[in-house]
Amino acid sequence: MRPILFLISLVTLFTASLEAKATPIHYDEAIDGLLRFNAPLTMGVGTNVVEGRGCWVGGAFNSCLKVNDFSFEIAEDTQLVGYRFILEDLSLVGPTIYWQSTSFLRNIVTGDTLGGPRENWLGGTATHAFSDIVLGSGTYRSLWNMSRTGFGGAWDFRIELDVVSTNLVAVAEPHTLALFLICLMGLTGLVVMNKRERVKV
């Protein structure tokens, strides 16, 4: 029985080694509370999602200011390779003839800042993405620079952050299947041998 348990453990470890260390997060302000720049969210490997609501009405940001300014952490042995801000359901409270924004990602330790494209919020694309982004482990702050003419309004947003592992040894799918089958065959053989030993006794 011990050899069988040992082989099962090996199969489990093998399978786990092909998966990411941490699963991606899905943070929703309506459920998890308002985003805060001083409470970084740790990103897992995969596509992380952050959802919330923002607003800019009158001459300044109101209580929704913090939804556009939050921090996140990229863990050791991982990289951020994709960042997309998706503007959803923009509702204007009055005449607004001009509204543009630029997103920035700033390394909190080094101060290095990466700027994204400047986008038109009135009739422009809904997805604002950084192109060819590669950021290593560290803590980053998401910032926005907005300019507007008019009353402004409120919006729902969805941010998608793609994180990959730099430590995981990539195994091609055919090789992965072959290794799994070998482990399965070995397990089957041990089960058969164990049954034969019981019969002899």
- Kindly list the averaged pLDDT for each block of 10 residues, start to end, along the chain of length 201: 50 47 89 90 97 81 60 96 93 91 94 92 87 94 90 92 81 47 56 53 49
β-pair type (60-61, 138-150): unpaired
User: Would you say 71 and 142 are in contact if contact means Cβ atoms under 8 Å apart?
Assistant: yes
Q: Report how far residue 157's alpha carbon sits from residue 66's, in angstroms, rounded to the nearest whole number.
A: 13
Catalogue the long-range contacts made by 21-30 (C-beta closer than 8 Å, 24 or more residues apart). 21/45, 21/75, 21/77, 21/78, 21/165, 21/167, 22/75, 24/48, 24/49, 24/163, 25/49, 25/50, 26/51, 27/51, 28/52, 29/53, 29/67
Res 67: pLDDT: 56
CB 85 within 8 A of CB 128: yes
